[in-house]
Structure 1
Amino acid sequence: MKKCGLFPVVCIMLLSAVVSVAADGKKNAGSDNADTVSLNSAASGATVKCESGKIRLVLQGGPGTFRLYAVNKDGTAVPVLVDYDGFTSTYFMLRAGKAEYKLNESNGVGSGAVKTDTGGKLLYAIPKTADVAIEFTFMKTNPDRDDDMLRVKITVTNREPRTDTFAVKGVFDTVLGETTGTHFSTARTKSVNSETQYRTMKNERWIISQGSGYGVQLLLDGGDITPPSVVTLGNKDIISLPLWEPVATTTRSFDNVMSYNNSAVAVNWEKTAVKPAESSSVVFYIAVSADGENPEGGAYLASLAGAGGLSAAEPDGRPAPAAVNQSDTAVKQPAPQPVSDAKPKTGVPFDVITEEKLDPEYIRALISRINALEDDDKSVNRDELLRLNAELDAILAKLRQR
């Protein structure tokens, strides 16, 4: 059974929100009419709640965030991504030329939420730059199942007077695997417990975070999925650094001085040149599971491969998967364990952080130095390594305060 609703007041969705934002990506009370963007059919303060089958999706128009839950057989919804701080640690970013915009922050980015017949949309407006629509569509991994998957389509429309390049990035703050012996798994690798970076997902196909009887799966190759340019599994604080492409060191754990077992996934897609008033899109899927089952996105991809490509669409426009058996590539469910509510741990302080040290190039050089020290087992200077990690943690803490 599918049900979608708006709260706190249903009629708020009948209004057209006019959000004034400055073109340079920062608030500007003196912006003129040219800087005013209308988010049609969406109220900037509205919250859209949709539930279908095993999925509960909550879109918050104000901060521009989404909350994702797996619903068990008793009707209890459990978050499959980190839920503290209003899910703001999971977000999308847009790169327009050389400018980067985090789409769940109000600093110059107008946002709204709207329901659709098959799910919901988050809408963002960056004046004189771009409009972004993220459409979430409920789907089934198998015709015999309840809805247990979302098709996510991110569309960027160029609002500049000239052709420009645009790229999209998604950061997903995972939690389910952090209390198990397996942070992540893929179609080819049963257990990933250290930083890893993939330049192609043709073999790995997907990323699964699973634990406590629940799971979430990012499908990143196959069918109409847009191939990512790079996928990074790493410490959440490292992935959240202001570097468009995260830095990863193979075999480095998901710990740092400030946090323990704190992993996340970053997905970068290739930049695309877009003409004025035209659009480009990327597509991927998110499958969920509950009650000790595995996410079945692999079965959906197998059905597409068996059909020789994309399946036909249902009358409501949703792709219809062919009937298939359970995927043989599913990873065995780890033993259920309680999900930890622990926050990042505080480490060695580093008091003097200047503006120069917040520069992305400085941060990249700092990480490269740390990586070089960690790779040199024979002559590693433990004191220097501790000091540099403390400096990096202090930089992260200061960036989070902005």
Structure 2
Amino acid sequence: MSKLVLAIDDDKYIHHVIEESLSGFCTLIHAKNGDEGLRQALKYNPDIILLDIEMPGKTGFEVCNELKANPQTKDIPVMFLSGKSDLPDRVKGYNAGAADYIVKPFNAEELMARIRVLYQYRQHSKKLKSDVERAQITAEIAMTDSGDMGRIMRYVGQSYHAHDIKALSEHMFEFFNPMELDVVLAFWYQDVGVFCSAEGGVCPLEQELLEKHRDANRFVDFSHRTIINYPKVSMLVKNMPLDDAQLYGRYKDLFPHILEVTNAKVQDMENNERALTQAQQIGNAFNDLSDQMYLNSDSREHAVEKLAAQLDELNKSIEQSGLSGSDEVAFHLQQLKQTQLLFSSLNEDLSFIKYQLKHIIESRSSLLASLQKMAEPSDTEDVTSQTDIELF
């Protein structure tokens, strides 16, 4: 089914550019101002809305606010079209409810790529929205265990048993769910951003905001949103109660405990992964060395046996020739016997080294198995349930 895109702009030339850029890619509906765009959005329920910011009558921000306030249109992703590229303008667009922001002039490839991302984001969000609603109904965990401290301790226990980012994020969303907070998480794992949302998708503008503010202050407030930053994890709270000073203060005291635990867990995951990689590299080096020694072992033993046989034959030849009484010949024979003994001793040393290498490789295999078991979740792990905690 073709994507349905609504373009709202007062500039006929921009409509022409959009028409040419998206020809054959999607079905277009055009609106020349904000009021007409709102009517078209209600009538056709498009997949994506392209919205100009500066228009006569209602501005793009006002139109976006109305779209997001209407239950029939609030889930339609909005992409702002603007000639302004500064971050404050993007933040203003995000605060109005936009999912993306593209700067004029734009080319067809960029516009199509962004529309494709937004379309996938909406489809993914639609699918997971019903799953989340069902999960919230069936996963109403008893929160009668003494408030914040009990839930923090429960999360600490859960995070201990989490062995990947997906499991860790699920426990975090479970923690924030009773607070009715809309949260987006960014895990900076091995310096790569992994973005998660309880609703499924994370829109491009949210990813950009988290990336831009990653190295900012611990708390960054804008509109009714707050970003909290730690080295390995950042959190965007999309409905922070900034107008309730008491509740806001409680949250600012509470969230660092959760994020500190999460930050430490992500670091632990990274350290385990590095340790496992290093153990594998060291083990591979020992394997290569052992293979090389075993490859040359037979040749060395055969050479020592051959030297001993040649020395016996030389002794017999000297005795038969009557030269056995010669001091010079006796001296050289003694030197050859010492060389034979050195070769034999070297072979014994190498055999011991081979034995030690075999023991090291067996220990390395056991270590790798233990590290892999630590890095993998177990089906039999028993995480303390919410109702097991009674502190107060």
Give TM class, smaller chain: under 0.3
> Which structure has the highest strand share of the two?
1
**Larger gyration radius, structure 1 or structure 2:** 2
Q: TM-score, normalised by structure 1?
A: 0.24
* TM, length-normalised to structure 2: 0.25
Structure with greater helix percent:
2
